[in-house]
Amino acid sequence: MNMTRLLTATVFTAAGLVATQSALAYQAGDFYVRGGIAKSEVKDDNGRVAGGDLDVSDERGFTYGLGYQFHDKLGVELNGSQDVEHDLALNGADIGSIDRRPVNLMLNYYPLGGTGSRVQPYAGAGLNYTSFNDETLSGLDVDDSYGAAAQVGVDMALTDHLLIGAFANYANVDADVKLNGNDVGNAEIDPVTVGGGLTYRF
């Protein structure tokens, strides 16, 4: 048996075993923590700085989250990621890098919450706060940003406590840029972040 067939058989066997477990849906009173990895893709046009076109690179990073279900179908979640280092270019010329740290406070809706379904889709909306630091270009300073955020995702219960899932979220991130204390433009990041990971429910 070749490796492809062996892996395929293993996956289907594992799926069959998982399907026999009685895993409960999200329900009122649940606490959970999440961890995973994701890629952030920023918008194509990142604004103008000092008369030039700013370009911000797409990057990957580790994500985290914690949440509480106050209703079978509604919950609050605080999520974010490690500092994500983005390369910066102005009119195509490298001008260094900057670290971005996003934090989102979300209200999530679970249409199948409180049911027996192992598959739990959700959608959420809320507020994003993004801080910027470790600018490598001397004199560069990017202000913190507040904006709207939205997310969609789906989790599948492997056991009563452990779930695997995927998600996508969007944040409106527009920040003023200063150079040596002078306003020189605006950075428009607006990342779409897509990722996956594990959730542990208490």
- Percent of the chain exceeding pLDDT 70 equals 88
Per the rule left: phi > 0, alpha: psi between -120 and 50, beta: everything else, 40 is beta
Give the pLDDT score at 156: 94
Give the pLDDT score at 13: 43
Per the rule left: phi > 0, alpha: psi between -120 and 50, beta: everything else, 161 is alpha
Cα separation, 122 vs 109, whole angstroms: 5
Averaged over 190-198, what is the pLDDT?
A: 95
Give the pLDDT score at 7: 44
Give the pLDDT score at 145: 94
Indicate whether 148 pLDDT > 70.
yes
Cβ(179)–Cβ(140) under 8 Å? Answer: yes
Cβ(100)–Cβ(86) under 8 Å? Answer: yes
Cα separation, 15 vs 194, whole angstroms: 24
Q: Could you give the 3-state DSSP secondary structure of residue 202?
A: coil
Question: Exposed e or buried b for every residue in 16-38, given b needs 16+ CB within 10 A?
Answer: eeeeeeebbbbbeebebebebeb
- Percent of the chain exceeding pLDDT 90 equals 50
Averaged over 157-183, what is the pLDDT?
A: 92
Averaged over 110-137, what is the pLDDT?
A: 91
- If one counts every other C-beta atom within 10 angstroms of the C-beta of residue 134, the result is 12
Give the pLDDT score at 12: 46
Averaged over 176-193, what is the pLDDT?
A: 87
Count helices and strands in the chain by DSSP H and E runs:
1, 14
pLDDT band at 24, cuts 50/70/90? Answer: low
Would the CA dihedral through 60, 66, 69, 70 be positive or negative? Answer: negative
pLDDT band at 73, cuts 50/70/90? Answer: very high
- HSE-up (13 A, CA, CB side) for residue 73: 3
- Here the tokens at position 108 are 């999530």
Domains and CATH numbers, the chain: 30-201 (2.40.160.20)
Averaged over 25-31, what is the pLDDT?
A: 88
DSSP E strands, the chain: 31-41, 48-49, 52-56, 59-71, 74-81, 84-90, 93-109, 119-133, 140-142, 145-157, 162-171, 174-179, 182-188, 192-201
- Whole-structure pTM value: 0.80
- Here the tokens at position 6 are 């062996």
